Amino acid sequence: MRRAVGVLLLFCILIAGCGAREHTNTSESVVDVTVWHPWGGVQKEKFDKVVEAFNKCHPRIRVHSLFTPNDLSNNQKFFTAVAAQKPPDAIFVDGQQTAAWAAQGALEPLDKWLRRDGVSCEDYFAPCWDQNEYEGKAWALTFCADPNFAFVWNKKAFREVGLDPEKPPRTIEEVDRYNDILTKRSGDKIIRMGIIPWAQFGNANSIFTWGWAFGGSFYDPGSHKVTADNPDVEKALKWMVSYARRYDVTKINAFSSGFGSRDQNPFYIGIVAMECLHISQIEDIREYAPNLDYGITYIPAPAGGEQHSSWVGGWCLAVPKGSKHPEAAWEFIRWCCREPKGTEAVGKIQGLFPGYRRSPYFDTIRNKPGYGQFLQILQECRHQRPVMPAQAFYMNSLDGAVDYAIYGRMSPREALRKAGAETQRELDLRLAGR
């Protein structure tokens, strides 16, 4: 009996000792934090370097990264993990998914940490913060703020057809006119296109981009109303459909099904003369097409549309519900998304923009070609994709709507109205708790 008590006492002392050690910061116990991220290929190596940098200056925390392909409508892995109560400690969430994941109870709100560590909405570019706030709580912090998009044009192609290579199109009318001059055919096939309006990173992203450029809006957060049939959005889709009709959409899509990637990217090899550019492509071009003669500017706008239009995308970091080490996960999140050193590392290593507007990284790239322009775009950015639980559904609906419109199966108005109605239905169900 006495022996048992003795062992029990020893046991308690040991446990208390461990606990005490953690609190007094002289611990030998290292907290292992797993974070699931969406980067494959080259970006994966870069992110691993960011993780290394964090681990180096945080000896008590070791972050392990795992690549999970996060197709926006395919969050299988994360959701089944939460359902099975085996989630990672931190998770990358695509900015527009935050509200949905929060509504489904998959995330932990960050407010208590934000208050404790003095992180507020003023620290971030407005649309970045807006993406992560839902129902009055903050659910994620912006890891990278992608200013979508810059507009680029191939100077060599311009020169070839007699356009002034230093004068990019500034209005939609100019885009149309230049496109007609730049598009080249060989027999029945298209071999160069001026611009493919719906090929700016998918149908849905394209309609978002041009919809805002035309002055439209997609969602009213106050009334929870989906406004896909907004007249300016309809104008944008009508504009896309005009290309589909003039050049035969099946021919254009046959053309684009032959596109390559990396060094065979259609813009880099000159078979697409104008397009919207993502910030990560600046590095891409430097690596795969260093001799590409191109210019970079703002997205053109129609008369009465929005000048210098853009929206913010990018990835955010959140803490899943059921995370085993939320405190340590928060340390990692705060370092990457809010601290000067961390955000600068993200910028320098991955070539992405932090969401933290006062990050020292911005001073280093203010005058860098390409990045400087993207910074200007980010500073004027006013939009982010709708923050509501049916956003993934909305993306799918818009995807389909653009498809049906450009293939002539529905008029732009019908297509957008249908997408809006079905998304509204879905949204109402989700808001009602189903």
Coil, helix or strand at residue 176: helix
C-beta closer to other proteins: residue 310 or 424: 424
- Each residue 333-362 as x (binds other proteins by CB under 8 A) or -, in order, gives ------------------------------
| 379 forms part of the interface with other proteins (CB under 8 A) | no
Within 8 A by CB and 6+ apart from 191, the residues are: 184, 185, 255, 271
Among 1, 84, 303, 432, binds other proteins (CB under 8 A): 84
CA 219, CA 387: separation in Å to the nearest integer? 9
Stretch that binds other proteins, among 205-213, 219-227, 235-243, 396-404 (CB under 8 A): 396-404
CA 254, CA 274: separation in Å to the nearest integer? 18
Query: Is 194 buried (19+), middle (13-18) or exposed (0-12) by CB count in 10 A?
Result: buried
| 162 forms part of the interface with other proteins (CB under 8 A) | no
| 262 forms part of the interface with other proteins (CB under 8 A) | yes
| 79 forms part of the interface with other proteins (CB under 8 A) | yes
Most distant pair of Cα atoms in the chain: their distance: 98
| 431 forms part of the interface with other proteins (CB under 8 A) | no
* Residue 250 near residue 270, CB atoms below 8 Å: no
Q: Which of residues 269-298 bind other proteins (CB under 8 A)?
A: 291, 293
Q: For 12, phi and psi rounded to 5 degrees? A: -65, -40
| 11 forms part of the interface with other proteins (CB under 8 A) | no
CA 63, CA 147: separation in Å to the nearest integer? 28
Among 115, 159, 225, 286, binds other proteins (CB under 8 A): 159
C-beta closer to other proteins: residue 355 or 386: 386
Stretch that binds other proteins, among 11-19, 172-180, 214-222, 393-401 (CB under 8 A): 393-401
Residue pointed to by tokens 């989906």: 226
Output the smallest distance, CB 107 to other proteins, in A: 12
CA 344, CA 281: separation in Å to the nearest integer? 19
C-beta closer to other proteins: residue 264 or 307: 264
C-beta closer to other proteins: residue 193 or 301: 193
CA 340, CA 134: separation in Å to the nearest integer? 26
Output the smallest distance, CB 327 to other proteins, in A: 24
Side-chain half-sphere of 152: how many Cα atoms within 13 Å?
A: 27
Within 8 A by CB and 6+ apart from 409, the residues are: none
Output the smallest distance, CB 141 to other proteins, in A: 23
Among 404, 412, 423, 424, binds other proteins (CB under 8 A): 404
| 417 forms part of the interface with other proteins (CB under 8 A) | no
| 28 forms part of the interface with other proteins (CB under 8 A) | no
Phi-psi bin for 269: left (phi > 0), alpha (psi -120 to 50), beta? alpha
C-beta closer to other proteins: residue 74 or 307: 74
Stretch that binds other proteins, among 23-31, 124-132, 140-148, 184-192 (CB under 8 A): 184-192
Among 48, 130, 403, 414, binds other proteins (CB under 8 A): 403
Q: How far is CA 190 from the centre of its chain?
A: 31
Stretch that binds other proteins, among 103-111, 127-135, 175-183, 346-354 (CB under 8 A): 103-111
DSSP 24-91: TT---PPEEEEEEE---HHHHHHHHHHHHHHHHH-TTEEEEEEE----TT--HHHHHHHHTT---SEE
C-beta closer to other proteins: residue 24 or 85: 85
Closest to 102 (Cα-Cα) out of 138, 130, 78, 148: 138
C-beta closer to other proteins: residue 131 or 397: 397
Stretch that binds other proteins, among 10-18, 19-27, 153-161, 360-368 (CB under 8 A): 153-161
Output the smallest distance, CB 162 to other proteins, in A: 14
- Each residue 239-258 as x (binds other proteins by CB under 8 A) or -, in order, gives -----------xx-xxxxxx
Closest to 302 (Cα-Cα) out of 371, 242, 251: 242
Output the smallest distance, CB 369 to other proteins, in A: 14
Q: How far is CA 421 from the centre of its chain?
A: 25
C-beta closer to other proteins: residue 111 or 403: 403
C-beta closer to other proteins: residue 26 or 85: 85
CA 337, CA 343: separation in Å to the nearest integer? 6
Q: Which residues bind other proteins (CB under 8 A)?
A: 40-41, 66-69, 71, 73-74, 76-77, 79-86, 104-106, 155-156, 159, 186, 188-189, 250-251, 253-264, 291, 293, 393, 399-400, 403-404, 407, 409, 434
